[in-house]
Amino acid sequence: MCYPSYLRSIGFTSFGFTSRGATHAGIIVCTFDPDFRRQAQRIPYGQSVGRSQRATSSEGILRLNRGPRAGSLGPDEPEAPSSLHHWLGRPGASPAPERGKRTSWRDFIRSHMEVLAAVDSFTVEVWTLGGLTTYYVLTFMRVASRKVCIAGVTVSPDSRWMEQMARNVTLAEIGFLDGCRYLLHDRDAKFCAAFDGILESVGTQTLKLPPQSPNLNAHCERWIGSVKRELLSRLILFGEGALRHSLAQYVSHFHAERNHQGKGNLILFPEPADRVGEVSGRIRDRERLGGLLRFYYREAA
């Protein structure tokens, strides 16, 4: 394998180490520091990086670590993530004052799971008297329980309609978002300022996700993918009534009859009469939408 000249000059080998004493940290420095790279090109082949050069690089990294913006370099200094990782693990590299205040998105989701909800919308093509019509479906989900609510179906999701949907889901004690502190949604123009304002007036903070980041709202996106694959892609719908009926049947199946891999392959809200988990009794079959959705359970003796 052929390596750049500035790596060959200090004896870099295919194992990532040097043949004559140059350290791993020295290789990192010469890889990310253009000034050191030019200097390394003048080092005769086989010689190692000097101790003073290694000390200088380590002191600079530790100095950056103790600064107010740990891990960020100056405008004339390129980033060297591997160098930082190497030196910060050494004794004496105290943590930066603000490093403990940062929270990853995964940690945020896990710590607020019980008071976190998500909202998103998707479109469905339905045949009507006027021809093929696009309907917009607004759906909410409680992330912890995976409970889903179809808030509304419309052909024109304007700001007034969105405001009314926000009022419906925030009704005291009976609203779907009752007790919810955070609501995730993307930057779709349908989520207008009035929609966010109604939610925040009842104590639900809206969190706008970065552009083109559906993975940050993965639970709601997974639900939309499921309803499209398992239901909508297999039906030709005629009229808004057929769409509403199909969605209502799938939501009931989703809650009480469908296993969920993310919840340990358990049913979210099983009906006591279905005797889920029992091993005795005759096996029965329940069909929805003409057999498109099926559920097997054991009949009571």
State the pLDDT at residue 133: 94
Query: 260, 226 in Cβ contact below 8 A?
Result: no
Is 92 exposed, middle or buried, given 0-12, 13-18 or 19+ CB atoms closer than 10 A?
exposed
Tokens of 159: 């700001």
Q: What residues have CB less than 8 Å from 85, skipping those under 6 apart?
A: none
Is the predicted pLDDT of residue 293 greater than 60, yes or no?
yes
Q: How far apart are CA 100 and CA 97, in angstroms?
A: 7
Q: What is the DSSP string of 119-177?
A: EEEEEEEEEETTEEEEEEEEEEEETTTTEEEEEEEES---HHHHHHHHHHHT-TTTSTT
For residue 39, name the pLDDT band (cuts at 50, 70, 90).
Answer: low
C-alpha distances in Å from residue 231, one per residue of 205, 235, 270: 32, 7, 21
Selection from 5-14, 132-141, 169-178 with the highest mean pLDDT: 132-141
Distance CA 221, CA 228 (A): 11
Domain boundaries, given as residue ranges, for the chain? 5-101, 109-293
d(CA 249, CA 241) in angstroms, rounded, equals 12
Report CA-CA distances (Å) from 15 to 161, 280, 283: 63, 61, 61
Tell me the C-alpha distance between 57 and 53, whole Å: 6
Its CATH architecture, for the domain 109-293, is: 2-Layer Sandwich (3.30)
Mean pLDDT check: name the lowest of 9-18, 31-40, 234-243, 247-256: 9-18
Instruction: State yes or no: pLDDT of 120 exceeds 50.
Output: yes
Give the closest residue to 149 by CA, choosing from 157, 158, 140, 161.
Answer: 140
Per the CB < 8 A criterion, the answer to whether 242 and 232 are in contact is no
Half-sphere exposure of 31 (CA within 13 A, CB side): 15
25, 28, 117, 176 from 120: Cα distances, Å: 47, 45, 10, 15
**What percent of the chain is modeled with pLDDT above 70?**
66
- Tokens of residue 149, six digits: 């609510």
Higher pLDDT, 204 or 56: 204
> pTM higher than 0.75, yes or no?
no
Q: Which residues contact 194 (CB under 8 A, 6 or more apart)?
A: 159, 162, 163, 166
Strands (DSSP E) found in the chain: 116-128, 131-142, 147-154, 182-185, 205-208, 259-260, 266-267, 283-288, 293-298
Between residues 89 and 281, the one the model is more confident about? 281
Q: Can you name the residues that pair with 290 across neighbouring β-strands?
A: none
**Which is it for the CA torsion 252, 253, 259, 262, positive or negative?**
negative
pLDDT of residue 88: 54
